[in-house]
């Protein structure tokens, strides 16, 4: 028996909120949400109704909407996501914005390297490359994206192809895959930018937040108060700057509660570093570290500038 769009949405309202129901139905119909709202007379066939009910049940069981539709918007772009990748979040857009600001301040000549660690869906490097594309002149831009999950890398490659950006994807743990990469010529690099949104939650934080428990646990949780992987990455960055004489600028997304601990860690590795708390310093001639707040006023991104 056919039903109209309002009848289906009324049925759904008993299980999930109206916005999610509208987005699910628009996804199934292949139409924008505005179409759903402006065509109350449209009859929906039985097959579509069955699919809608199936998706309603998933959403009622707290399956994230992005996993149901297979898509999530981030930085104004549409990304494919699935259960093997984290769902991109607005907080991470702060990291992308800061990286773009710094990159665009650099001279547009020479070879520039962008490295994204724990890339997941690839949303960070793809968003950066799509945004700075119009600013390129004689700059040679090379991008690498690394993840320990081969299944996540498949999704990231799909997104890179979708958005027509050139990224070399590497399977491996943190920076090790890059350091050993045969095509990495450190002698000609002028600028290097490292972005990382690594697992930084504790087991307790994960267990207390039902909304994230359908996402890949390995991409959310880290030992040592959530800082295990960042500790390893910072030591690798130290190696990169001393062994290869590189001067990377690094962007790390953190939990607000970790600010002081990660600053203390950075000071242990680079004792002479200067720390600023929002806004970023205008002149970056020495070792600098600053913390960028998100839209809610929470400490969200740690930026680290290393000059040898």
Q: Is the pLDDT of residue 279 over 80?
A: no
The answer to whether residues 230 and 269 belong to one domain is yes
Task: Determine, yes or no, domain membership for 140.
Answer: yes
The answer to whether residues 113 and 215 belong to one domain is yes
Task: Determine, yes or no, domain membership for 67.
Answer: no
Determine how many CB atoms are found less than 10 A away from the CB of residue 262.
24
The answer to whether residues 207 and 92 belong to one domain is yes
The residue out of 61, 80, 102 marking a domain boundary is 61
- How confident is the prediction for the chain on average, in pLDDT? 88
Task: Determine, yes or no, domain membership for 143.
Answer: yes
Question: What is the Cα–Cα distance from 231 to 271, expressed in whole angstroms?
Answer: 15
Task: Determine, yes or no, domain membership for 228.
Answer: yes
User: Which is more confidently placed, 215 or 184?
Assistant: 215
- E-only strand ranges, the chain: 3-4, 43-44, 71-74, 77-80, 109-117, 138-147, 168-171, 189-196, 248-253, 274-277, 288-293, 299-305
The answer to whether residues 41 and 90 belong to one domain is no
Number of domains in the chain: 2
Decide if 52 contacts 25 (C-beta within 8 A): yes
- E-only strand ranges, 179-293: 189-196, 248-253, 274-277, 288-293
Q: Determine the pLDDT at residue 105.
A: 80
pLDDT band at 164 (very low <50, low <70, confident <90, very high): very high
pLDDT in tens, 238-267: 988 887 777 889 999 999 999 999 999 999
Q: Report which DSSP code applies to 121.
A: T
For the ranges 9-18, 108-117, 129-138, 143-152, the lowest mean pLDDT is seen at 129-138
The answer to whether residues 125 and 14 belong to one domain is no
Task: Determine, yes or no, domain membership for 51.
Answer: yes
The answer to whether residues 141 and 27 belong to one domain is no
The answer to whether residues 298 and 274 belong to one domain is yes
The residue out of 31, 61, 91 marking a domain boundary is 61
The answer to whether residues 23 and 155 belong to one domain is no
Q: Is the pLDDT of residue 112 over 90?
A: no
pLDDT in tens, 26-63: 999 999 999 988 988 888 999 999 999 999 999 999 99
The answer to whether residues 84 and 219 belong to one domain is yes
Question: What is the Cα–Cα distance from 264 to 271, expressed in whole angstroms?
Answer: 10
Q: Is the pLDDT of residue 117 over 90?
A: yes
Question: What is the Cα–Cα distance from 170 to 80, expressed in whole angstroms?
Answer: 19
Structure tokens at 64: 């994230």
The answer to whether residues 135 and 103 belong to one domain is yes
pTM tops 0.85: yes
pLDDT in tens, 191-235: 789 999 999 999 999 899 888 999 999 999 999 999 999 999 999
Task: Determine, yes or no, domain membership for 66.
Answer: no
Q: Determine the pLDDT at residue 247.
A: 82
Looking at residue 87, which CATH number applies to its domain? 3.40.50.150
The answer to whether residues 115 and 244 belong to one domain is yes
Looking at residue 51, which CATH number applies to its domain? 1.10.8
Q: Which domain holds residue 16?
A: 3-61
Task: Determine, yes or no, domain membership for 14.
Answer: yes
Q: Is the pLDDT of residue 269 over 90?
A: yes
The residue out of 14, 39, 61 marking a domain boundary is 61
Which has the closest alpha carbon to 169: 216, 111, 119, 123? 119
Task: Determine, yes or no, domain membership for 267.
Answer: yes
The answer to whether residues 139 and 53 belong to one domain is no
């Amino acid at each position: 028996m056919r039903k109209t769009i309002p009848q289906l949405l009324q049925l759904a309202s008993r299980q999930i909120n109206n916005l999610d129901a509208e987005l699910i139905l628009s996804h199934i119909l292949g139409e924008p949400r505005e179409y759903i709202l402006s065509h109350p007379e449209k009859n929906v066939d039985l097959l579509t109704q069955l699919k809608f009910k199936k998706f309603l049940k998933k959403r009622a069981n707290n399956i994230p909407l992005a996993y149901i539709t297979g898509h999530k918007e981030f930085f104004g772009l549409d990304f494919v996501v699935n259960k093997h990748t984290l769902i991109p979040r607005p907080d991470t857009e702060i990291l992308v914005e800061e990286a773009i600001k710094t990159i665009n301040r650099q001279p547009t000549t020479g070879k520039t390297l962008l490295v994204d660690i724990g890339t997941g869906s690839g949303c960070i490097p793809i968003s950066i490359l799509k945004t700075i594309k119009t600013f390129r002149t004689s700059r040679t831009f090379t991008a690498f994206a690394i993840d320990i999950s081969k299944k996540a890398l498949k999704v990231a490659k799909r997104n890179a192809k979708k958005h027509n950006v050139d990224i070399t994807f590497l399977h491996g743990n943190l920076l090790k895959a890059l350091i050993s990469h045969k095509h990495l010529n450190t002698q000609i690099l002028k600028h290097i930018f490292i972005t990382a949104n690594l697992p930084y939650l504790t087991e307790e934080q994960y267990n207390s937040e039902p909304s994230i428990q359908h996402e890949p646990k390995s991409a959310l949780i880290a030992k040592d108060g959530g800082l295990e992987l960042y500790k390893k990455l910072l030591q690798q960055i130290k190696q990169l700057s001393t062994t290869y004489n590189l001067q990377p600028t690094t962007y790390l997304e953190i939990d607000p509660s970790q600010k002081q601990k990660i600053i203390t860690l950075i000071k242990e590795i680079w004792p002479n570093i200067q720390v600023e708390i929002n806004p970023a310093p205008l002149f970056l001639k020495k070792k600098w570290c600053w913390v960028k707040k998100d839209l809610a006023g929470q400490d969200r991104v740690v930026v680290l500038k290393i000059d040898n």
